[in-house]
């Protein structure tokens, strides 16, 4: 059997056939040292091994990969905004609401889910004079299948959430409310206006496809990801072309984080114990990571690195500057592919035992393969046959 191997031992010239991408893989090297080509070779090998891989491709460089299914966000794919939680929604909109307002948002989302899936009404759910017990029964019917809502109705629904009883003898506490809490609404008005504007922004509309385009067919990315994760797709490689994010720099980190959380959560929710391995690839990862420690814990890249192992998700990240990756994140990789690096500190951060001179003089397409507790091995990256 002739095996398509991405790597060859530089000394013996033998193909490296033992699996190495069964742990998280870090690919580092200065610009032009061959990281993307290495990732493509590894994907090519995975295809020959009939393994499933999902590439989140913010540059569009992976479109050249043959035998892959490609979905391009903004073109033939969109994200369903009506599935975003109050936290994810704030992330992709680049806002952080005060806690009280965040609760209000969670409530508004539930109201809209009731409205759409159970009450089958249109527009926001009017809460004035609505019997509290009836509403409670509707809420009880909410479940996973009733998880979508009309995101563009949110600003108005937020106003509907701010209702109170009369403050006189006509007060009826069996109703959700009898009048608008005018002071409360006025206090939040600036935030509400901002929220409305962000929902209407071009970035949001393009990424989340909140406007209907009759005649064009787009697929929801969450659905596509599910298909691949559950091996129900006829292809084994999925490329999610996210080059649209170049135009929306503010949102790109949040969207990538969101997609990775969809992937992780789909697996964590499937409680069947055995998972087919799925490999994830993200190029230029340092661009999409937050700097703060608190935000890192909430980031999808970090969560997949930390929790992916137990559900058989392995991720490969490439970066030209390992020092830009937080140390907590760097320690999650069981294996690294180290291309040419010209900075001693960067090398020390990923492979302190390698001699700097050896790494600095690597040619394009050469690298050191380093596994935990095994001495690093110099390798040649075999560009794929189609390449």
**Which residues contact ligand ATP by CB under 6 A?**
29, 31-37, 320, 364-365, 381, 383
Residue 197 or residue 363: which is nearer to ligand ATP going by CB? 363
> How many DSSP H helices and E strands does the chain contain?
14, 14
3-state SS string over 15-77? ECCCCCCCCCEEEECCCCCCHHHHHHHHHHHHHHCCCEEEEEECCCHHHHCCCEEEEEECCCE
Residue 223 or residue 387: which is nearer to ligand ATP going by CB? 387
The rounded Cα 67 to chain-centroid distance in angstroms is: 23
Segment contacting Mg ion by CB under 5 A, of 17-25, 28-36, 95-103, 274-282: 28-36
Least gap, CB of 41 to Mg ion (angstroms) = 13
The reply on whether position 33 binds Mg ion by CB under 5 A is no
Instruction: Please report how the helices 249-269 and 300-307 are oriented relative to each other, as an axis angle in degrees rounded to 10.
Output: 30
Q: How many residues bind to Mg ion according to rule CB under 5 A?
A: 2
Least gap, CB of 251 to ligand ATP (angstroms) = 22
Contact indicator for 346, 14 with CB cutoff of 8 Å: no
Residue 186 or residue 364: which is nearer to ligand ATP going by CB? 364
What is the rounded (10 degree) CA torsion for 363, 331, 90, 146? 110
Least gap, CB of 84 to Mg ion (angstroms) = 30
Least gap, CB of 11 to ligand ATP (angstroms) = 17
Residue 157 or residue 237: which is nearer to ligand ATP going by CB? 237
The reply on whether position 36 binds Mg ion by CB under 5 A is yes
Least gap, CB of 36 to ligand ATP (angstroms) = 3
The one of ligand ATP, Mg ion, none whose footprint includes residue 277, by CB under 5 to 8 A per kind, is: none
The one of Mg ion, ligand ATP, none whose footprint includes residue 32, by CB under 5 to 8 A per kind, is: ligand ATP
Contact indicator for 374, 335 with CB cutoff of 8 Å: no
Q: Annotate 212-255 with DSSP letters as a single string.
A: --TT---EEHHHHHHHHHTT-SS-SEEEEE-GGGGG-HHHHHHH
Question: Which residues in this chain contact Mg ion in the complex, by CB under 5 A?
Answer: 35-36
């Amino acid at each position: 059997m002739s095996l398509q191997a991405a790597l060859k031992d530089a000394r013996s010239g033998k193909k490296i056939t033992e699996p190495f991408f069964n742990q998280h893989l870090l690919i580092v090297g200065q610009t032009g040292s061959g990281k993307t080509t290495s990732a493509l070779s590894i994907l090519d090998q995975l295809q020959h091994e009939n393994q499933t891989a999902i590439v989140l491709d913010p540059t569009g460089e992976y479109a050249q990969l043959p035998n892959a299914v490609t979905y391009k966000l903004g073109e033939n794919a969109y994200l369903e905004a009506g599935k975003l939680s109050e936290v994810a929604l704030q992330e992709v909109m680049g806002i952080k609401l005060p806690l009280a307002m965040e609760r209000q948002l969670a409530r508004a989302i539930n109201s809209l889910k009731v409205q759409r899936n159970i009450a089958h009404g249109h527009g926001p759910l009017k809460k004035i004079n609505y019997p509290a017990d009836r509403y409670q029964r509707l809420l009880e019917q909410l479940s996973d299948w009733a998880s979508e809502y009309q995101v563009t109705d949110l600003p108005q629904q937020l106003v509907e959430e701010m209702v109170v009883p009369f403050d006189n003898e006509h007060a009826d506490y069996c109703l959700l409310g009898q009048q608008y809490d005018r002071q409360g609404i006025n206090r939040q008005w600036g935030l509400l206006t901002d929220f409305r504007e962000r929902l209407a922004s071009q970035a949001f509309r393009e990424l989340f496809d909140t406007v209907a385009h009759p005649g064009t067919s787009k697929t929801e990315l969450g659905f596509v990801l599910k298909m691949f994760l559950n091996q129900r797709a006829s292809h084994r490689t999925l490329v999610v072309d996210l080059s649209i994010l170049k135009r929306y720099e503010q949102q790109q980190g949040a969207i990538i984080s969101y997609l990775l959380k969809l992937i992780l959560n789909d697996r964590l929710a499937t409680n069947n114990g055995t998972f087919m391995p799925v490999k994830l690839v993200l190029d230029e990862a340092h661009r999409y990571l937050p700097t703060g420690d608190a935000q890192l814990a909430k980031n999808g890249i970090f969560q997949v690195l930390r929790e992916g192992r137990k559900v058989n998700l392995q991720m490969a990240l490439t970066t030209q500057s390992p020092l830009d990756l937080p140390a907590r994140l760097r320690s999650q990789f069981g294996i690294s592919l180290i291309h040419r690096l010209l900075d001693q500190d960067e090398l020390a951060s990923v492979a302190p035992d390698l001699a700097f001179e050896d790494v600095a003089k690597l040619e394009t397409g050469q690298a050191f393969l380093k596994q935990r507790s095994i001495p690093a091995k110099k390798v040649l990256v075999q560009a794929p046959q189609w390449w």
